[in-house]
Amino acid sequence: MSVIYWVLLFIVALFDLTEKRIPNVILLALIGMRTLEIISVSDTMLFLDSMKAGVILFCAGLVLFFVRAMSPGDVKLFFVIGFVTGITDIGSLFYWILLSGGVVATFCFFDRRSNNLNPKGFLLSLKERWYKLVTLHMPMSEAEKKSLKISRYGDKLVMPFAPSIVIGLAMFYYFN
């Protein structure tokens, strides 16, 4: 992969980190660059391999989207990664992406944990958690309902996945 691909993928990862979205323009630029690259060598098998890798990764991302483990932008990025790399070793690439996703998720978890430390003390924090557990099925106040509707994910921990994809791609090329 050329440096231009890595720069564009790095920009996609930064967009996902800062704005929580993946710009379609950059993804289309990546697809266009790869298409021009394939046309310049005029190899139809290379195009078919790229399409096959893109569709396989897209389907894997779609499955993860349906189980609510991934956002639609990440599914699009999966297709672009498959199309741009055109590799036949999809299993290894998927392994490295999931491994890097786990590492990034661990860091996101610890970051959220450190930002939500309760200054009141550990025992009071346990009491609050017990109260939330006991009153789980109690009706919520309007303020609580509004605070949960701020994000479509509610109170769940969410993380940008594009950096994990880019890190996993770099790990794939480094270790394979």
Return per-residue pLDDT of the chain as tens, 176 residues: 689 999 999 999 999 988 888 999 999 999 999 999 999 988 888 899 999 999 999 999 999 889 888 888 889 999 999 999 887 788 888 899 889 999 988 888 887 777 766 555 555 566 666 666 666 655 556 665 555 555 555 556 667 888 999 999 999 989 98
Amino acid at 50: S
Would 144 be classed as within a structural domain? no
Give pTM, 2 decimals.
Answer: 0.74
Which conformational region is residue 168 in: left (phi greater than 0), alpha (psi within -120 to 50 degrees), or beta? alpha
pLDDT at 5: 92
Would 72 be classed as within a structural domain? yes
Which residue segment(s) compose the domain that 99 sits in?
Answer: 3-112+153-175
Q: How many domains does the chain have?
A: 1
Would 11 be classed as within a structural domain? yes
Strand ranges, E, within 7-152: none
Would 127 be classed as within a structural domain? no
Would 120 be classed as within a structural domain? no
Would 83 be classed as within a structural domain? yes
Task: Report the Cα–Cα distance between both ends of the chain, in Å, rounded.
Answer: 14
How crowded is the C-beta side of 84, counted as CA atoms within 13 Å? Answer: 25
Would 32 be classed as within a structural domain? yes
Would 132 be classed as within a structural domain? no
- CB within 8 Å of 151: residues ≥ 6 apart: 158
Of residues 12, 42, 35, the one with CA closest to residue 84: 35
